[in-house]
Structure formats: structure tokens, C-alpha cells
A and B are shown apart, each in its own frame.
Chain A
Amino acid sequence: AQSVTQLDSQVPVFEEAPVELRCNYSSSVSVYLFWYVQYPNQGLQLLLKYLSGSTLVESINGFEAEFNKSQTSFHLRKPSVHISDTAEYFCAVRGTGFQKLVFGTGTRLLVSP
């Protein structure tokens, strides 16, 4: 079975500051890793994913995440956040050969001016 831990339930940050949202996972098999973003009253949208290959993956809006197998982590980072990045961010894992996508509890990113 797979599990995901997002230790930070809420991360307040000022606009243009850097941010890191932490994600650790547990799995007995190889994994695929995902970050989803949820804006208020919306569904979840895929932000970025790691399937294989380069351990550093990037999104089109400036977020990046690095897969670290030894630390079983997939932290999400952005060097300079915008007000519009305010949302809830979910880390998710799926074991290779499995179909279930297991989510963490989410981290609410609050960007203030």
C-alpha cells in the first residue's frame, strides 16, 4: 500500500517570496508522484507529475518538484509566488502496477500582499 504525508496544513507567505510545500511518501514498490492544485469551489487540476526519467519536473506556471528516492520526498517549490497561487495543494502517489491514486491531506497556500 502507498501513503502520503503532507506535514504542513497551511503555509502563509508574502507575494514574491519563495515557498516550499513538503510531501513525503511511503511505498513498497516504485511510484508515480503527482501534485494537484485545487482553487476554491473547483475540482483538482494536475500541476505536475513524476513518472520516470529526470527527477526534477516543472509546471508551466513556475512550480517545480524534485523526486528524491532516498528521502522518499517530492517537495513542491516556487521561487516567487503570486497572489493567484493561493489554493490548496495535494500531493498524490500511485504505485506502479496499481491503479489507486492516494492523496495527502493537502496544504493550503495563503499568499498575501
Chain B
Amino acid sequence: DAGVIQSPRHEVTEMGQEVTLRCKPISGHDYLFWYRQTMMRGLELLIYFNNNVPIDDSGMPEDRFSAKMPNASFSTLKIQPSEPRDSAVYFCASRGVNTEAFFGQGTRLTVV
């Protein structure tokens, strides 16, 4: 397996634009997590899914953020409209029932 795949690796966008981050989890993993990493706040869990169903989105900062998992092999994190304070590295991770979490390489988002 190629591991957790995220795209794009880097994204630069202007304030107010919509941004979509993509994640392909490891095949067979039941859980998918979206994290955000910043210098100020470290690694924060934004939302996680179990069997494609959102279970806990309490970490989503505000309504501008939304996440979907239409099937077991794909998830998106969308920010609309984007703001400079959204600049961060966004990680996707997946986990099986009895495995540890495996992380993608991350998407570095810069909002100017």
C-alpha cells in the first residue's frame, strides 16, 4: 500500500478563495482523521470519520470549514472562504481497528 495520500502538497491561495484538500486513506482502514498543525497551536484534531460517517467535528474551527467522506477511499476538507489565519499544514491520517494511525505527508496551505 502506498500509505495515506494527500493532495496537493502545497497550496497558495488568495484570501476569500475556496480551498479543497484531498485525502486517500489506506485501504481497509475504518477511521480517518484531519489534523491541522501550526506553530502556535501544535497538532489539533479537526474532525474524524468512522466508516465514512463524521463522528466528532468539535475541532472544526468555524463554519467556513467542512469535511466530507463520500466513500471509504476519499475525503475532502474544504475552507470557504479562506483567511490568512488558516495558513497551516493540514494532515490526514487513517487507522484500522487494531492499528496505530498512519499520517499522510500533509498539505501546506498558505493564504495570502
Contact = CB atoms under 8 A, between A and B. Distances in A.
B25 interface: no
Interface in B32-49: 33, 42-43, 45, 48
A51 B7 CA distance: 32
B105 A34 contact: no
25 contacts: A34-B100, A42-B105, A43-B91, A43-B103, A44-B91, A45-B103, A46-B100, A46-B102, A49-B100, A90-B43, A99-B31, A99-B48, A99-B50, A99-B55, A100-B45, A100-B56, A101-B33, A101-B45, A101-B93, A101-B101, A102-B45, A103-B42, A104-B42, A105-B42, A106-B43
A-B pairs, 8 with minimum CB distance: A43-B103, A103-B43, A44-B103, A105-B42, A43-B105, A46-B100, A43-B106, A43-B104
Q: Please report whether the interface of chain B is mostly helix, strand, loop or mixed according to DSSP.
A: strand
Range of interface residues on chain A? 10 to 19
Interface of B: 4, 31, 33, 42-43, 45, 48, 50, 55-56, 91, 93, 100-106
By CB atoms of chain A within 10 A, which of B33, B101, B106 has the most?
Answer: B101
Contacts of B55: 99
